[in-house]
Amino acid sequence: MGVWYGNPRSEFSMEGVMAQERVSQELLLKRLKRIEGQVRGIQRMIADGRDCESLITQLAAVRCH
C-alpha cells in the first residue's frame, strides 16, 4: 500500500481517498516504468547475442518487480 500523507481524521473523506489514489497511481506508474526499462534492456541483450546466463539473471530481476 502507498504512503499516507493526509490528515488522519479525514482518512475516509473524499479528498483523503483521492489523495491516496493519486499516490497509489504514482507508485504503480513508477514501477511499470522500471519494468519497461528492464524489458527493453533484455531486448537489447537478445539483439546483441548476449549469453543465456546474463539473460536469465535479467529475466529474474524483471519477474521480482
Does 2 map to a domain?
no
pLDDT of residue 23: 86
pLDDT of residue 9: 53
Does 34 map to a domain?
yes
Q: 54: how many CB neighbours lie within 10 A of its CB?
A: 12
pLDDT in tens, 24-62: 999 999 999 999 999 999 999 999 999 999 999 988 888
Does 40 map to a domain?
yes
Does 38 map to a domain?
yes
Question: In terms of residue numbers, what domain contains 57?
Answer: 8-64
Q: Domain count for the chain, please give it.
A: 1
Does 3 map to a domain?
no
Predicted TM-score (pTM) of this structure? 0.61
Residue 25 is placed in which grid cell?
A: 497511481
Q: 3: how many CB neighbours lie within 10 A of its CB?
A: 8
First to last CA, the chain: 15
